[in-house]
Amino acid sequence: MLVNEAGKVFVGQRLDSILEAWQMPQGGIDAGEDARSAAVREIGEETGIGADLIHIVAEAPDELFYDLPEEMIGKIWNGRWRGQRQRWFLARFLGRDEDVRIETAEPEFRSWKWADPDELPLMIVPFKRRLYEQVLEAFRPLI
């Protein structure tokens, strides 16, 4: 969860989806990489924001999970997974909007914006809604 100085959260619309759903940056942990470093790397890869403009504030106390809806199981991720287990971090954005450049080497988002934290669960695809509510519960006091 990347938050600007106004307490708004970075969200992007994925390139590979025609839905109007938005999501926060996320991604995997590479072999030999710790979760905190992966969080900073993934934010950078998806937003174009340099690591010097990202300050990790907190880590959610527990791993969070979501399952795919039945109609999606076996159809995405080459049928290898039924959902995801995630570690979440709260990060402060120390830059300006001009420092956000979603036209990265391997772009994931077609557009981006800063969103009110309370709107996040309504902006995400329905099967991730509870996960976003849990992320908010973990970080709300620090946003």
Residues 109, 112, 117, 120, CA torsion sign: negative
The pLDDT assigned to 69 comes to 75
Domain 2-142: homologous superfamily in CATH: Nucleoside Triphosphate Pyrophosphohydrolase (3.90.79.10)
Name which residue leads in pLDDT, 75 or 56: 56
List, for residues 23-49, the tens digit of each pLDDT value.
999 999 999 999 999 999 999 999 999
Q: Which of 84, 97, 91, 93 is nearest to 130 (CA)?
A: 84
Overall average pLDDT of the 119-141 stretch: 95
pLDDT at 18 over 90: no
- Please give the full DSSP string across 70-89, using - where no structure is assigned: GGGTTTSGGG--SEEEE--E
Residue ranges per structural domain of the chain: 2-142
The pLDDT assigned to 99 comes to 98
pTM of the model: 0.90
The pLDDT assigned to 19 comes to 73
Which residues touch 139 (CB under 8 Å, ≥6 apart)? 1, 58, 60, 88, 90
